[in-house]
Structure 1
């Protein structure tokens, strides 16, 4: 849920860049932005894809829009052939400079840890679900019945098993489950490592919310090199040009860039990062507490209603004894 919320926020933040700074292409850019974050989500969930392919596919789709709406704003109708030519040309002329590669690098480092964490959590769920439905042996079933109900045969309906007796029975029943202790401890250590990686310099939320700034820098770079790009792109068959009707939208990308991309939703960004960090800390603390789960599962069970804690006597499997 935290991943999904963060992805939605980052996607909305990136979309708002086009709505506020690049209005002429905002509507057409919505689909490439959506596809980018869908690909990122699939990558985190373990799909057979890469961050590089997702980012470069996004910039492939973005370049025809940047070229026809910002660099040469007179183009109003792009044919499929011309659009495809621009897409292929993007791969050769690199109109976005180093910014597209930088975005791949930053996202790859942070999303790798997120992908591994997601897969590790899925594995943990499978392990827990498997042990939750572990079948009891006949010997275990007999021991449990004896521990719980044999006192009733003597009319001792209120007496409870002694703690030591309960532990012996439970440890015998859970012997196969407790063997998972070493692997479970290693698993928890792996989760700690991955979450610490996410919280380090290549933080997931910083990388995702930073996509907006990376895209903005890339577009500004392409605009700055517009004349050179136009000369190179001339190899594509030029579509029919028509005059743009109505007043041109104001491109306030310069203003956005001047303020370092800190729009009105900067406070929202800070708030989300704080919430995500708190959830991260809660998750780490919870996982640390579960490190000894399989080693102490018998103690946990015998610490509940199975045994009598506030009585001076208990059932030891044979008779009532003093605690």
Structure 2
């Protein structure tokens, strides 16, 4: 066949399959039989399908210019199918992103729990090894502290300062009776309360409780906001996955995907430009999320970049045992002053007893002991966060690209030729230019926009709130107040992931693995 003959044959073939462009297509009996068969696949049972062409005067959306193959009941079923198509396409579009966020939220929550558990075990090991005389009572206070830390990460209203103050208040009576004043019997209830009350006034543990409050508070706050942000990301995606579309949107979807069937044009596909208009109208509220979603990813990236040093809970919690140890050593070094002060403050409650001349073995410990040693270079929380952000950034345009994704996956004709425009098959569709977003839909003649759904408005408000929290965390680090020399000394132990911190050698080291392996 010659090239010119083939060129003439293509329009004829298209006309046979789609109907002549630009003309109304009264349904014939043969066409209606095909429609009947196709509808039965979609909706088993043929009781709503006319035997042949009908006037269709009761139709509300697929209004015919001549006869039609559809009944009013078929129109309703087609609209339900169109809504289902839309929901499935949205869920398909978000599947990869949704899995990414859900998986990482679960992995990070589990990893944070593992860090807390390791930190508690390290602290318990320090007490068992070097302060045996304190016995299980110290372990009880350690357990309570790390339980409060876990609850705080999960959103509890408990104050970090309160939990740390309670820990040191509870610890001091043990330190006093077993280390500072060894040989004394366990203090009475009255004496215990006096010691607890005196602990802060006398600064028994120096500035270590304050340093611990600063480091734990900053690292846990960053961790908590990070988890909150991931969980909100899941909520945003779930909300947009299960939208209830407006009546006007449902009618527009029916018109775009199924009204051609009523004319017997089963092979007609919507024009890409027409599909884009319908999607921009149906998804106008969702598309309002776009800028906030991009800001969410950018703000989350800013937070993760700053989660180092005292903002890194992995570094802070796994080194917490050494802060507790140093606090106890500080109290021991000042035992003379403390004993005198306690005798003055709590003398009425103190039962005097001859002090033993022999100091217990756990009175002092070698400062070289219990250095943190990194034993393996494995995947860290920090590297996992960087990997998550890199993947999230590839989805930063997820919401603005939804109309294009749905049209591409619903067989829209990309070149807008010989395609369905909602009423008939046209040789060429001239798309109306409309920008994304609710405000831009005033001129959209395919879908009337009445404002975002309440559920979308709620999600927008939540995104604004979490973005504000994330920005606040970032700004607080940029504008950190100047430290006095004492605070500088307190925080000199901070280190980033790249630093070679805490490496040591020699006998008596507690080998700590503070780089966690992720299985997910």
Alignment of 1:274-293 (within 5 A): 274-293=379-398
Of 49-58 and 121-130, more deviation after overlay is shown by: 121-130
Cα distance in 1 for partners of 2:395, 2:363 equals 52
> Would you say how many aligned residue pairs link Structure 1 and Structure 2?
313
Note the alpha carbon deviations across 1:240-286, whole angstroms, 9 max, x for none: 87999xxx98439624x3145236xx437x64xx4312221122123
2:371 is aligned with 1:261:
yes
Cα distance in 2 for partners of 1:49, 1:288 equals 34
Cα distance in 2 for partners of 1:74, 1:50 equals 36
Cα distance in 1 for partners of 2:179, 2:151 equals 31
Note the alpha carbon deviations across 1:165-190, whole angstroms, 9 max, x for none: 43322221101110122222222222
Give structure 1 stretches of 5+ with no counterpart.
Answer: none
Note the alpha carbon deviations across 1:50-104, whole angstroms, 9 max, x for none: 3222222211111111112222332343322221111111111111112222212
Q: Return the match for 1:30 from 133, 139, 149.
A: 139
Cα distance in 2 for partners of 1:308, 1:129 equals 26
Cα distance in 1 for partners of 2:193, 2:117 equals 29
Cα distance, 1:136 vs structure 2? 0.5
Q: Return the match for 2:402 from 297, 300, 304.
A: 297
Alignment of 1:12-161 (within 5 A): 12-153=121-262, 157=266, 160-161=269-270
Note the alpha carbon deviations across 1:122-142, whole angstroms, 9 max, x for none: 444444444333320112112
Is the contact between residue 120 and residue 143 of structure 2 (CA under 8 Å) also seen in structure 1? yes
- Report which of the two structures shows the higher radius of gyration computed on alpha carbons: 2
Q: Return the match for 2:350 from 238, 241, 249.
A: 238
Cα distance in 1 for partners of 2:405, 2:236 equals 19
Q: Return the match for 1:319 from 425, 446, 450.
A: 425
SS in 2 for 1:8: helix
Of 70-79 and 154-163, more deviation after overlay is shown by: 154-163
Cα distance in 1 for partners of 2:355, 2:334 equals 23
Cα distance, 1:302 vs structure 2? 3.1
Note the alpha carbon deviations across 1:225-248, whole angstroms, 9 max, x for none: 22222222223212587999xxx9
Cα distance in 1 for partners of 2:321, 2:427 equals 71
Q: Return the match for 2:283 from 159, 163, 174.
A: 174
Cα distance in 2 for partners of 1:33, 1:140 equals 58
Q: Mark the CA change 1:28 to 1:140 in structure 2 (over 3 Å): closer, same or farther.
A: same
Is the contact between residue 77 and residue 241 of structure 1 (CA under 8 Å) also seen in structure 2? no
Report the aligned-residue RMSD. 3.3
More helix by share: 1
SS in 2 for 1:301: helix
Is the contact between residue 272 and residue 414 of structure 2 (CA under 8 Å) also seen in structure 1? no
Is the contact between residue 216 and residue 317 of structure 2 (CA under 8 Å) also seen in structure 1? yes
Cα distance in 1 for partners of 2:400, 2:375 equals 45
Cα distance in 2 for partners of 1:242, 1:143 equals 93
User: Normalising by structure 1, what TM-score?
Assistant: 0.82
Give structure 2 stretches of 5+ with no counterpart.
Answer: 1-108, 430-520
Q: Mark the CA change 1:301 to 1:14 in structure 2 (over 3 Å): closer, same or farther.
A: farther
Of 136-145 and 115-124, more deviation after overlay is shown by: 115-124
Q: Mark the CA change 1:201 to 1:232 in structure 2 (over 3 Å): closer, same or farther.
A: closer
